[in-house]
Chain A
């Protein structure tokens, strides 16, 4: 193999940096221009001098895991995945190795080669074209078996921007194919190592693929494409699409959401949005995964591949590259895996009143690691004060001269296509309602935080109710966990962690009222707890209480050990959205691998209704924490809010795959289906959610509406009497 010869045959000891002494430009020009005239792309060679800017490639190590309290709880909840293994690998990162590598870089005279190994180094001396060629070959042909690779300070290769882009994009796409079963972080690490050696800027990294699909999604796809494929005609939903296009791209998202609620036509515009959004969202540039992560991951890959005894792989140069990269091209920053933030999505959901999906709820019912659900609690509590939660918002609607909201809804649907003015009526009616609610909210502040304990709690008197509660939570027995945690906070009313976890459990169980109450108590118990602050910020965002939200979110920033310094204290008193957003963006740039910052940014963007950016931020966070089920729910809810219910379902499905008993996600699924006019489906999801937690009041409401829309008045009585047996029999999933 010609190239192999080039690489193996007599390649000089790679003394990185040595070739920098010679001016590569002349050689480059000769080599390139003098060679085949058809090599058009390489002809333009900008002149530059070798810049041994190794320092830039070796940022310091940041350990994010210790940053947030409560994060330790996240690990047991996450299914074992390679990502966390890698992270564990990071934390166990051998500092000595890093020192070795660093020395290797600084003292290029001493490359470390294990004895007896063939030296498969890229040809570093020679015309840049050949250097590049052999370097790329070594990238592809690296072997796992302990082939040494000194730090790669390549001479200037004169790559044009276009060249660099090609290398960057293509190598990352190819790396994804080759390292399929590694985590996304690992793959990014690999590519980063390559790119950094070539001094290619990683910022605008090639977009990654969409997250992997899960089997359950097939079911949903199947259901969404109800009819068998006809060679000529589109599927059922496509028919709907063409028939019921309303397509008003009402800039007022509220009106849009209403439109969706009330007419099947709405989803057509969703579909359009989905089409556009799907592409644009996924074109978002990937996060800049620090190189330390890359190196660690490379090391682990190399180690793993070394286990493969196939001699062909032993000799494969591609795998050699892997181990070469692992040996110290770059130090790599730890890849942050921060818990997702709180359930402000939940709040949002409530805000829309069975409109957009319940990701707000999800937000409130933040998973353990994430911030508490105070704001969700607040929100729920606000509703609580109106009286019996069940009927309250319905009654509110009555004030808007809609006798029975559900009936009205049903009528609207029964009429089929919704006219424009009808949508407007709903929009204005909704706006009125919101205004009223705002007034009511202000009155209700004092009544927030009233937590209602359960009767006959078997865990009272348990020796260690907190541990028990955590265990039950991990197992997914939410209602039981709630009882145990209640026992804990009865015993220790100042246990912030107990309250926080209680809030999370309630939120996941789709019980907003209790969730918010718990979070408020947690905040009282520990005003500096970052997760509590985050959740409170989120919940207030959902309620569109901008000032309160900004207060909590800013407080999060100030109390954060890393970002505290970039949050000037004077800002706390007069918070402007722009300032807070800017500060958070700074934080994001400070540590782009910090998922929490991205989550908060997503929250903030939802506050300002910049849904595209919110989706972007969440997806960034999801890249860092792909297994955070509640983050998936947030993404889904944002998508639903921005008229992409089909996308939202996809995201909810992810959440459910990660946590099958995620009541909130089930309910959100139902809402998304309802938004698309698929009421029969939505009913099933609501029933499923309610079967898991019969106390999810809002889900009962949604169920009622969907029953009405689907003209199942026969089941209304069962719904009103909360007869789950009958409903489950009638609407299995």
Chain B
């Protein structure tokens, strides 16, 4: 499939949970250091180029995007100015963003929509906090403030509606239950900053963390002292990690070494795929829930690739 070119540097890409051909791409100008941002919504077509069906400009870079699980046209965007913005594709651009929630005092680095409850989402920020929101409220429901440094990623547990994990630059990942005031568990997962975390979709107690130390580690929270697996192979910091929605032991990760790697952590030689298509840091990656094996990645080379696992991402 052809690649999609964005004017700004790519930061995140997410498949829509409703439409198998639809993706959202978060981009930021000047690598997100300074400048504007743009949120793209693109559609793949079976034979032909990728088309953009909507684009929203923002005053600051868009660091992450998440699709709503309750409305097929709703998107949540994490903006570098600390706000969280809601976009509705069904509304004209002038009515968008539908809502701008500005509570974080530093850059908002990630958003994740709750796939179980479908009414709430969490945002994590460089101000060390994670905030819980519902789409109908103008203010956050809860603020989780325990991390000692930027929280780079927060991810809901796919099975337990109230549990989520956060990954932070203080080298810990924390598991939280929104009903509890403090974190339920602290995983000193890496010796360097942890940039991303994700839950296993088939085993609700397994979590993967990826770190600046170039590794991805898989943990069972029931025995958090020793990782289940340590996946080495990236040459630089691993920016994002994602569990496959179709195979319980498959993980995909993207890294500043410009590659996207696919792993099976139950297997002796875990690396089962490596894609070297980006020419700059590979910063965002996602696996489609609706189409097995469909991967998307974006990077600072301003390209979005969508391809089937096992094929060449660059092949038209």
Q: Which of A214, A218, A228 contacts B222 (CB 8 A)?
A: A228
Q: Which of B31-39, B65-73, B110-118 contacts A (4 or more CB under 8 A)?
A: B31-39
Q: From B238, which residue of chain A is reached at the shortest CB distance?
A: A177
Nearest-Cβ distance from residue B180 to partner chain A, whole angstroms: 6
Q: With A173-B126, A177-B193 known to touch, is A41 a contact of B36 (CB < 8 Å)?
A: yes
CB distance from A636 to the nearest CB of B (A): 16
Indicate whether A214 sits within 8 Å of B258 (C-beta atoms), given known contacts A2-B302, A173-B126. no
Which B residues lie within 8 Å of A3 (CB)?
Answer: 302
**Contact between B190 and A231, CB atoms less than 8 A apart:** no
A170 in contact (CB, < 8 A): yes
- Distance of A312 Cα from B282 Cα, bound (Å): 13
Write out the residue numbers on chain A whose beta carbons fall within 8 Å of the beta carbon of B214: 180
Which residues, 41 to 87 on B, are CB-close (under 8 Å) to A? 57, 59-60, 80
Pairwise interchain contact B36-A39, C-beta atoms closer than 8 A: yes
Given A177-B195, A213-B190, A316-B279 in contact, is the A170-B32 Cβ separation under 8 Å? yes
Query: Which of the segments A17-25, A274-282, A696-704 contacts the partner chain?
Result: A274-282
Which listed segment binds B: A88-96, A130-138, A430-438?
A: A130-138
Is B225 part of the contact surface with A, judged by Cβ < 8 Å? yes
Shortest CB distance A184–B (Å): 11
Would A312 and B182 count as touching, CB distance under 8 A? no
| In the bound complex, CA of A583 to CA of B222 (Å) | 54
Q: How far is the CA of A206 from the CA of B280 in the complex (A)?
A: 25
B35 close to A133 (CB less than 8 A): yes
Which of the residues B32, B107, B177 comes within 8 Å of A231, measured between beta carbons? B177
Query: Which of A1, A136, A180, A282 has the most chain B CB atoms closer than 10 A to its own CB?
Result: A180
B256-294: CB near A (< 8 Å → 1, else 0) gives 101000000000000000001001110000000000000
C-alpha spacing A213/B211, complex, angstroms: 12
- Assess the B180–A209 pair: CB atoms within 8 A: no
| Distance of A515 Cα from B193 Cα, bound (Å) | 39
Say yes or no: B33 contacts A166, CB within 8 Å.
yes
Q: Is A504 on the interface with B (CB-CB < 8 A)?
A: no
* B141 surroundings in chain A (CB, below 8 A): none
A229 to B157, CA, bound (A): 15
A137 to B302 CA separation, bound complex (whole angstroms): 12
Report which of A169, A219, A233, A282 forms a contact with B149, defined as CB distance below 8 A.
A282
- Check B119 for interface membership: any CB of A closer than 8 A: no
Q: Contact at A225–B191, with CB atoms within 8 Å?
A: no
Tell whether B163 is near chain A: CB-to-CB under 8 Å.
yes
Cβ of A212 under 8 Å from chain B = yes
Knowing A41-B60, A231-B163 are in contact, say whether A163-B191 is a contact too (CB < 8 A). no
Binds A, one of B95-103, B131-139, B167-175: B167-175
Contact with B along A1-28 (1 / 0, CB 8 A): 1110000000000000000000000000
A318 touches B34 (CB 8 A): no
- Whether A163 contacts B34 by the Cβ 8 Å rule is yes
Is there a chain A Cβ closer than 8 Å to B229's Cβ?
no
Specify which chain A residues have a CB less than 8 angstroms from the CB of B236 in the assembled complex.
178, 180
- Asked whether B160 is an interface residue with its Cβ less than 8 Å from the other chain, the reply is yes
Residues of B within 8 A of A721 (CB): none
- Complex Cα–Cα for A315 and B171 (A): 31
Question: For A140, what are the chain B residues with a Cβ–Cβ distance below 8 Å?
Answer: 31, 33, 280, 300
Instruction: Tell me if B212 and A214 are in contact (CB < 8 A).
Output: no
**What A residues does B179 contact at CB under 8 A?**
232
Tell me whether A177 and B302 are in contact in the complex, defined as CB-CB below 8 angstroms, given that A41-B36, A210-B149 are known contacts.
no
Q: Scoring A residues 137 to 158 as 1 if CB is less than 8 Å from chain B, else 0, what string do you get? A: 1011100000000000000000
Contact call A282/B185, Cβ cutoff below 8 A: no
Query: CA of A318 to CA of B30 in the docked complex: distance in angstroms?
Result: 12
Q: How far is the CA of A294 from the CA of B256 in the complex (A)?
A: 22
Query: Smallest CB-CB separation from A3: which chain B residue?
Result: B302
- Segment 199-223 of A: residues with Cβ below 8 Å from B: 207, 209-210, 212-215, 217-219, 221-222
Interface residue B146 (Cβ < 8 Å from any Cβ of A) = yes
Flag if A209 contacts B36 (CB, 8 Å): no
Given contacts A141-B280, A318-B280, contact A235 B34 (CB under 8 A): no
Partner of A212, one of B146, B191, B225, B300: B191
Q: Does A38 contact B (CB under 8 A)?
A: yes
Instruction: Give the shortest distance, in Å, between B20 (CB) and chain A (any CB).
Output: 29
Q: A323 CB to closest chain B CB, in angstroms?
A: 17
**Known pairs A228-B222, A275-B146, A318-B281; A212 contacts B171 (CB<8 A):** yes
Contact between A136 and B30, CB atoms less than 8 A apart:
yes
Q: How large is the interface on B (under 10, 10 to 19, 20 to 34, 35 or more residues)?
A: 35 or more
| Cα–Cα, bound, A722→B25 (Å) | 68
Q: A225-B185, A231-B184 are in contact. Are A170 and B195 (CB under 8 A)?
A: no
Q: Is B88 an interface residue (CB 8 A)?
A: no
- Asked whether, in the complex, the Cβ of B225 is within 8 Å of the Cβ of A222, the reply is yes
CB of A238 within 8 Å of the partner chain? yes
Q: Which residue of A lies closest to B221 (CB)?
A: A229
The yes or no answer to B253 lying at the interface (CB within 8 A) is no
How would residues 138 to 169 of chain B score, 1 for a CB under 8 Å from any chain A CB and 0 otherwise? 00000001101110000000001001000001
Contacts of A238 in B (CB 8 A): 182
**Which residues of chain A come closer than 8 Å to B180, judged between CB atoms?**
232-234
Chain B hits for A233, CB < 8 A: 180
Chain A, residue nearest B259 (CB):
A312
- Given known contacts A41-B60, A209-B169, A210-B170, is B276 in contact with A312 (CB within 8 Å)? yes
In the complex, A40 has a CB within 8 A of chain B: yes
A218 touches B188 (CB 8 A): yes
By a CB distance below 8 angstroms, the chain B residues around A682 are: none
A358 contacts the other chain (CB 8 A)? no
Closest to A216 in B: B188
A623 at the interface (CB under 8 A from B): no
* Interface 1/0 per residue, A237-257 and B, CB below 8 Å: 010000000000000000000
Judge whether B188 and A40 touch: CB under 8 Å.
no
In the complex, are the beta carbons of A132 and B225 less than 8 A apart?
A: no
Q: A1-B302, A231-B177, A312-B276 are in contact. Are A167 and B34 (CB under 8 A)?
A: yes
Smallest Cβ distance from A243 to chain B, in angstroms? 14
Contact among B148, B193, B224 with A176 in the assembled complex (CB-CB below 8 Å):
B193
User: Are A177 and B212 in contact, CB atoms less than 8 angstroms apart?
Assistant: yes
**A41 CA to B301 CA in the complex, in Å?**
24
Q: Is A726's CB within 8 Å of the partner chain B? A: no
- Of B34, B225, B279, the contact of A1 (CB 8 Å cutoff): B279
Is A571 an interface residue when CB atoms closer than 8 A count as contact? Answer: no
**In the complex, are the beta carbons of B149 and A209 less than 8 A apart?**
yes
Chain B, 223-240, contact with A by CB distance < 8 Å: what is the 0/1 string?
Answer: 011000000000111010
Cβ–Cβ contact B171 & A278, under 8 A: no
B128 interface hit (Cβ, 8 Å): yes
Measured between C-beta atoms, what is the minimum distance from B92 to chain A in Å? 16
Q: Closest chain B residue to A282 by CB distance? A: B148
A181: chain B residues at CB < 8 Å are 213
Residues of B within 8 A of A167 (CB): 33-34
Can you name 9 A-B pairs with beta carbons within 8 Å? A41-B35, A133-B29, A169-B107, A170-B32, A209-B149, A213-B171, A279-B128, A279-B148, A316-B258
Contacts A177-B256, A218-B188, A318-B280 supplied; 10 other A-B pairs, CB < 8 Å: A41-B59, A133-B30, A140-B300, A166-B33, A214-B191, A221-B188, A232-B177, A234-B184, A316-B258, A316-B280
Residues of B within 8 A of A (CB): 7, 29-36, 57, 59-60, 80, 106-107, 126, 128, 145-146, 148-150, 160, 163, 169-172, 175, 177, 179-180, 182, 184-186, 188, 190-193, 195, 212-214, 221-222, 224-225, 235-237, 239, 256, 258, 276, 279-281, 300-302
Name A's B-contacting residues (CB within 8 A). Answer: 1-3, 36, 38-42, 132-133, 136-137, 139-141, 159, 163, 166-167, 169-171, 173-174, 176-178, 180-181, 207, 209-210, 212-215, 217-219, 221-222, 225, 228-235, 238, 275, 278-279, 282, 308, 310, 312, 315-318
- Closest CB pairs A-B (n = 6): A180-B212, A212-B191, A229-B185, A209-B169, A213-B171, A136-B30
